Amino acid sequence: MTNTSKWTLRVVVMSYLGVLIGLPVTFLVVKAFGHGFGAFWSEVTQRDALDALKLSLEVAAIAVPVNALVGVGAALLIARHDFVGKRVLDTVFDVPIAISPIIIGIALVLAYSRIGWFGAPLARWGINVLFTPLGIVLATMSVSLPYVLRSILPVLLEVGDDQEQAARTLGAGRFRIFFQVTLPSIRWAVLYGVTLTIARTLGEFGAVLVVSGNITGVTQTLPIYIFDSWDQRFDVLGSYSGALVLALISIGVLGILAALKRREKKLLVDFA
């Protein structure tokens, strides 16, 4: 490659990334601190913002462990067992991230709200998913479903089951094998998948917006608070400040992912 074409390519790529990512992220910081750090701090510590952050964390506290358990279980099932419908099971995990989050939200409403398929019997038990935190939890679980499975499965297939077989012949039980043989070999992959799940859980917007009804202090997660601040309350600074908080979390997440990838260079796959 000639020197000119090399530099042309570099400049084109850098300009594209600058216009698309670099400048916008820089100006988010500029805008969030535009009225000083004090104004930023009072925005992110006001009542509605803290309520939204609290709800986001509570939803994550339920959705992340459940999806981690399901992801590990399904990965073991797919990697270590043969059964009818294995490919189907594998594919179903990707469905929620292949389709629009708005559609996921509508699908949940049409299944479980009062107007949905199971609305009448659920309402009799006092369960409603429309405009409630329960709906938010379901929507979040759905959109963050595949990340743990997708992180672990290639590692499980790569390490094989020789050591597990050896442990079995030595008389170890199923739980002992899992905790002393399998889990140590996939722990970094589990951590990688859990980090991705947390990121997606805290950031989910579309699916949650449809089911939540956006009730301040009750069903408003942090992403919805950011949207509401801009769109309804014209509190632009509140929107920039909330966005900066979530952006910092995402950058932390990227740091963790990069560190994990350096550790397990070959095994961890890119998620995009």
Partner 1 sequence: MGGGGVLIVGYLSIIVLLPIAALISHGLSISVATHGSGWAFWHWHVSFGFKTFWSAVTAVGSRNSIWLSLWLSLGVAAINAVMGVAIAWVLVRDRFFGRGFIDSVIDLPFALPTIVAGVVLLAIYGPNSPIHVDLFETWMGLMLALLFVTLPFSVRAVQPVLASLDLESEAAARTLGAGGARIFFSVVMPSLWPSVLSGFGLAFARAVGEFGSISLIAGGIGRTTTASYYIYNLTAGFLWVDAAAVSTALLVISLVVLVTTNVVSRRYQSRLL
**What residues from 42 to 61 belong to the interface with partner 1 (CB under 8 A)?**
none
How far apart CA 272 and CA 254 sit, in angstroms, is: 13
In the complex, the smallest distance separating the C-beta of residue 70 from partner 1, rounded to whole angstroms, is 6
Question: Quick one: which segment of 41-49, 152-160, 177-185, 240-248 binds partner 1 (CB under 8 A)?
Answer: 240-248
Instruction: Count residues binding partner 1 (CB under 8 A).
Output: 85
Hey, is 225 helix, strand or coil?
helix
Q: Which of 203, 219, 235, 267 binds partner 1 (CB under 8 A)?
A: 203
Contact status, residue 59 vs residue 137, Cβ threshold 8 Å: yes
Q: Which of 243, 260, 267, 268 binds partner 1 (CB under 8 A)?
A: 243
Hunting for tokens 């499975």 — which residue is that? 149
Give residues 181-200 in contact with partner 1 (rule: CB under 8 A).
199
Could you count the other beta carbons within 10 Å of the beta carbon of residue 93? 20
How far apart CA 96 and CA 140 sit, in angstroms, is: 10
In the complex, the smallest distance separating the C-beta of residue 221 from partner 1, rounded to whole angstroms, is 10
Give residues 87-106 in contact with partner 1 (rule: CB under 8 A).
89, 92-93, 95-96, 98-106
How far apart CA 262 and CA 99 sit, in angstroms, is: 31
DSSP letter assigned to residue 35: T
Nearer to partner 1, 32 or 189 (CB): 32
How far apart CA 271 and CA 184 sit, in angstroms, is: 22
Hey, is 172 helix, strand or coil?
coil
How far apart CA 253 and CA 191 sit, in angstroms, is: 11
Q: According to the binding rule CB under 8 A, does residue 127 interact with partner 1?
A: no
Q: Which of 59, 60, 190, 226 binds partner 1 (CB under 8 A)?
A: 226
Encoding tokens for residue 105? Answer: 């939200």
Nearer to partner 1, 73 or 160 (CB): 73
Q: Which of 60, 108, 155, 177 binds partner 1 (CB under 8 A)?
A: 108
Q: Which of 107, 157, 159, 172 binds partner 1 (CB under 8 A)?
A: 107
Q: According to the binding rule CB under 8 A, does residue 117 interact with partner 1?
A: yes
- Which residues contact residue 138 at a Cβ distance below 8 angstroms, ignoring those fewer than 6 apart? 108, 112, 129, 211
Q: According to the binding rule CB under 8 A, does residue 39 interact with partner 1?
A: no
What's the gap between Cα 60 and its chain centre? 9
In the complex, the smallest distance separating the C-beta of residue 118 from partner 1, rounded to whole angstroms, is 8
In the complex, the smallest distance separating the C-beta of residue 98 from partner 1, rounded to whole angstroms, is 6
Max distance between CA atoms of the chain, in angstroms, equals 73
In the complex, the smallest distance separating the C-beta of residue 245 from partner 1, rounded to whole angstroms, is 9
